[in-house]
Amino acid sequence: MKVLFSAIGSTDPISNCADGGVLHICRVYRPDKVYLYLSKEMCQYHDKDDRYRRAVHLLGKELGHTFEVEAIRDESMERVQVFDAFINSFERLVGEIQRKDQPEEFLLNVSSGTPAMKCSLQIISMLWKNVQAIQVSTPAKSSNKMHENKDTYQLEEQWECNLDREEGFENRCSVSDAKYLLDRIRKENIHKHLLAYDYEAAKLMAETLYQAPSEEFWGCLEIAIARNRLDLRFVNGNRKKYGIDRWFPIVQEREMKEFEYLLAMQAKLWKKQYIDFIRDVTPVFYSLSERVLKRYCDLSFQDIGTQAREGAWCLSLEKLKEKGIRPNVNWGDFTHLSSYVVLMIMEQVCEDENILELMRGIRTVEREVRNLAAHEIVGVTEEWVEKKTGFRPGKVMDMLFELAGCAGIQMAKKDREAYHRMNEQLWEML
């Protein structure tokens, strides 16, 4: 079955000696069933002389084709220029028709009715599967200069003067391909995903585009996804291919690992994923603590501990004594080195009060909220973090970047905006 759904407009059924939109689609496509949507005004003309259905039946008689015509009356519809008045109503009607008739071909007339009606049907054609929008151009290929008087309309006279009845008539129908408009809408959604640092969602949306993005965009988006996952092996294996080294201000192996970890944490902060953000504090604090210990106290983990087979560092009481460091009463051999232990050691041997104060602040976050968030079901908000620690999450992020600088990672303040620059260039590529 082939079905046509059409609103009725001022040029239907015949105007300016030519088919109106609905009649011309019927002439060209010959649907089996035609649904005519009538607003309050069009119901009045329909009740006057049944001109819309009669015109379709006259065409069917001339073509030797049977049209089943059903009028859908909506006498409550008076605000015919308001888009919101139609989109939900038309979606409901189209859905009901699909369920009832299960047409193999479903046509929507996007040339009849008010602009709000046409726009609504065009959007439905873009978003629904197995629905095709048909546009009918005017005979003059411009807007209609005149409209017949609807109150004195004589269908039979209009039918006789209809030039589209002549042999060799011009087919003025065309499929209204709104793919580029839909692509534009989807690209805006991709942009929003980029701004939200949701690169996986951006990829899923990009895969629905009719006009495929460039190879450069796909490659760089995959790098952005890998970056956010901290898959730096993939990043470093591909970034030179696309000439995007400028995305990565730090490329030395360990410094890059720590810096990119901080950037990924910052993205979580921007997305207000506070629980994940807080959980991420310990690994980077531990890694940076090792570097700070070496830089400020000239002590390496090798100097104060031994490395277990699995790679974890454990304290060596003997080595601590050799360095003149007093072990805590709770320390013993095989005590795992942690940022807390590093801080306790630095309290004895470091003379720089600024770095100690910075580490104490981060340790407070780790002690008061990180461990709680990692092991219990809690709701983490900015206010909760501040109440527990005295620091808002944004301040915690600043402290971690400051510690990274103290650890010897050379970075400028603008380098913290690396994700923003990456997002801007991905958008430009799209």
* Structure tokens, 47: 């009740």
* pLDDT value, residue 144: 54
> What pLDDT, in 10s, does the model give residues 260-318?
999 999 999 999 999 999 999 999 999 999 999 999 999 999 999 898 877 788 888 88
d(CA 81, CA 213): 36
Whether pLDDT at 332 is above 60: yes
The model's confidence at residue 123, banded by pLDDT at 50, 70 and 90, is: confident
**What mean pLDDT is reported for the chain?**
90
Q: Find the mean pLDDT for residues 328-337.
A: 74
Give strand ranges (E) for 100-257: 105-109, 132-136, 173-175
Coarse DSSP helix, strand, coil percentages of the chain, rounded to the nearest 5 percent = 60, 10, 30
Rounded (10°) CA dihedral 185, 189, 190, 196: 160
pTM of the model: 0.69
Distance from first CA to last CA of the chain, Å, rounded?
A: 40
Which range (116-120, 276-280, 413-417) has the least confidence? 116-120
Is 173 in contact with 134 (CB distance < 8 Å)? yes
* Structure tokens, 217: 């965009």
- What is the SS3 assignment for 109? strand
Q: Find the mean pLDDT for residues 116-137.
A: 88
Please list the residue range(s) of the chain that carry CATH number 3.40.50.10770: 2-177
* pLDDT value, residue 141: 56
Is 133 in contact with 4 (CB distance < 8 Å)? no
Q: What is the DSSP letter of 369?
A: I
Residue owning tokens 């997305």: 271
Whether pLDDT at 143 is above 70: no
* pLDDT value, residue 309: 74
Using alpha carbons, list the distances in angstroms from residue 29 to 15, 21, 166, 173, 371. Answer: 20, 12, 17, 9, 69
- Indicate the burial class of 136 (C-beta count within 10 angstroms; 0-12, 13-18, 19 or more): buried
* Structure tokens, 237: 């294996």
The model's confidence at residue 147, banded by pLDDT at 50, 70 and 90, is: low
Cβ neighbours of 181 (radius 10 Å): 13
Query: Which residues partner with 173 through β-bridges?
Result: 136
d(CA 193, CA 328): 49
> What pLDDT, in 10s, does the model give residues 24-67?
999 999 999 999 999 988 999 999 999 999 999 999 999 999 99
> What pLDDT, in 10s, does the model give residues 205-254?
999 898 889 999 999 999 999 999 999 999 999 999 998 989 999 999 99
**Residue 18 phi, psi (nearest 5):** -155, 160
* Structure tokens, 53: 């259905």
Residue owning tokens 């609905």: 22
Q: Find the mean pLDDT for residues 74-83.
A: 75
d(CA 395, CA 391): 6
* Structure tokens, 115: 């602009």
132-136, strands of its sheet edge to edge: 68-73, 33-38, 2-7, 105-109, 132-136, 173-175
**Residue 291: what residue type?**
R
Query: Which residues partner with 2 through β-bridges?
Result: 105
Q: Find the mean pLDDT for residues 176-180.
A: 76
* pLDDT value, residue 152: 81
Instruction: Enter the CATH code of domain 2-177.
Output: 3.40.50.10770
- Among residues 113, 158, 151, 111, the alpha carbon closest in space to that of 133 is found at 111
Question: Is the pLDDT higher at 294 or at 183?
Answer: 294
> What pLDDT, in 10s, does the model give residues 333-380?
667 888 999 999 999 999 999 999 999 999 999 988 887 777 777 788
d(CA 319, CA 345): 12
Rounded (10°) CA dihedral 136, 140, 142, 146: -100
Contacting residues for 420 by C-beta, under 8 A, at least 6 apart: none
* pLDDT value, residue 375: 73
Percent of the chain with pLDDT over 70: 96
Is 335 in contact with 312 (CB distance < 8 Å)? no
The model's confidence at residue 145, banded by pLDDT at 50, 70 and 90, is: low
d(CA 416, CA 411): 8
Residue 90 sits at the vertex; the CA angle it makes with 86 and 91, to the nearest 5 degrees, is 120
Number of H helices, E strands in the chain: 21, 10
Whether pLDDT at 84 is above 80: no
- Among residues 284, 273, 297, 263, the alpha carbon closest in space to that of 365 is found at 284
* Structure tokens, 222: 């995959």
Residue owning tokens 């609807």: 150
